Amino acid sequence: MHKPDLKVNFAGIQLANPVVLLSGCVGFGEDLARLQGFDFAKVGAICLKGTTLTPRLGNPPPRIAETASGMLNAIGLQNPGAKHVVQDILPRISHWPTKLIANIAGNNFDEYGEVARIFNDSPVAGIEINISCPNVKEGGAAFGSDPIVAAKVVEAVRKGTDKPIITKLSPNVTDIRTVARAAIEAGTDGFSAINTLMGMAIDLPKGEAVLGNFQGGLSGPAIKPVALLQVWRVYEVAKPHGIPIMGQGGIENSNDALEFILAGSLAVGVGTSLFKNPLVGNEVAQGIEDYLAKTGHKSIESLTGTLKARSQ
Ligand SMILES: Cc1cc2nc3c(=O)[nH]c(=O)nc-3n(C[C@H](O)[C@H](O)[C@H](O)COP(=O)(O)O)c2cc1C
């Protein structure tokens, strides 16, 4: 059996394989370094926790709630601030044999630009823009739901960095393609799709909201069908420009990941499933390799976007 090539060039970032550990689900990755059996070289990249210009304490607890087939979170972008990440955290983690991608957010366009500038002078391989976090009152969802505003964020980040920019799209929109088109015009190099869907949980006996923030982002298996459709839609817009998609939303195993690749993803992300199985990234990469070998595909590119209509 031939050995398939798992490497992908994602928006100029050379990934050893297409599997990415998603933002907010491994912090800055340092727990992984202590995890027996985990191999950094066997994940393509790690997206670091969402980082803002100044430190944030996040939302009031509880910040996480379990639902029937997914999880709600309202962390509210707790992070130590961009300068701390660049000066104190990155020097400890940038030797890992994987790519690190910053995930940035801001309260206004200038802040996005400033955080991008701070990460520009750092070893991260790229910058993912979170325009879709639903938990931040000051902007968050608003940035990602209006194509004009989303484009302005991408422009501000573009001015702040020469590194590849990945725009992380929100599913909480009427038509994700209009936001994707605006981001392409503004200079994005890649997309992440999708971020969490807005949701709420209620404690009936108490008559109370479960989350301290009332609303949160739904992730995990519950959102996979929504995410597949949104990736497929974004692919239609991004493909003519050669702009790659990091598909994500409920991926738990390599078959899930392969479905996202067929729908148009060049890279795939695992997030919520890491809370159940922190080794899932390594396992998904292995499963993709086995599938390529079994089916005779030489590369991920040869599978990306190959979804066919149902045969009669
Ligand atoms: C606890 C938690 C924290 C998250 N924090 C961030 C964040 O800081 N920035 C961001 O862009 N996405 C964040 N996300 C969204 C994930 O990166 C991912 O896009 C989403 O959960 C869908 O993938 P999944 O179903 O595999 O988790 C977070 C998700 C969870 C569950």
Residue 17 counted as domain residue = yes
Quick one: average pLDDT of 17-25?
98
Q: Which residues are part of the catalytic machinery?
A: 133
pTM for the structure as a whole:
0.97
The reply to whether ligand 1 has any atom less than 6 angstroms from the CB of 63 is: no
**Measured in angstroms, how far is the CA atom of residue 309 from the centroid of ligand 1?**
31
Residue 227 counted as domain residue = yes
Block residue for tokens 């379990």: 66
What is the four-CA torsion angle of 264, 157, 223, 33, rounded to 10 degrees? Answer: 90
Look at residue 2 in the predicted model and tell me its pLDDT.
72
**Measured in angstroms, how far is the CA atom of residue 23 from the centroid of ligand 1?**
5
Look at residue 143 in the predicted model and tell me its pLDDT.
84
pLDDT band for position 225 (50/70/90)?
A: very high
Task: With H, G, I as helix, E, B as strand and everything else as coil, classify residue 149.
Answer: helix
Residue 2 counted as domain residue = no
Residue 312 counted as domain residue = no
Q: Tell me, what DSSP letter sits at residue 1?
A: -
Look at residue 145 in the predicted model and tell me its pLDDT.
86
Range of the domain at 25: 8-295
CATH of the domain at 107: 3.20.20.70
Cβ–Cβ under 8 Å, residues 250 and 70 = yes
**Measured in angstroms, how far is the CA atom of residue 50 from the centroid of ligand 1?**
9
Query: Given the CA of residue 223, which atom of ligand 1 is nearest to it?
Result: 25
Look at residue 142 in the predicted model and tell me its pLDDT.
66
Residue 291 counted as domain residue = yes
Quote the tokens at residue 6. Answer: 């798992």
Cβ–Cβ under 8 Å, residues 32 and 280 = no
Residue 52 counted as domain residue = yes
Query: Given the CA of residue 273, which atom of ligand 1 is nearest to it?
Result: 26
Instruction: Give ∠ CA 133-138-141 in degrees, rounded to 5.
Output: 30
**How many folded domains does the chain comprise?**
1
Look at residue 133 in the predicted model and tell me its pLDDT.
53
Helix pair 254-263, 280-295: axis angle to 10 deg: 60
Look at residue 137 in the predicted model and tell me its pLDDT.
46
**Nearest CA, atom 31, ligand 1:** 272
Look at residue 138 in the predicted model and tell me its pLDDT.
44
In the predicted model, is pLDDT for residue 234 greater than 50?
Answer: yes
In the predicted model, is pLDDT for residue 220 greater than 70?
Answer: yes
Average pLDDT, the chain: 95
Residue 123 counted as domain residue = yes
Residue 290 counted as domain residue = yes
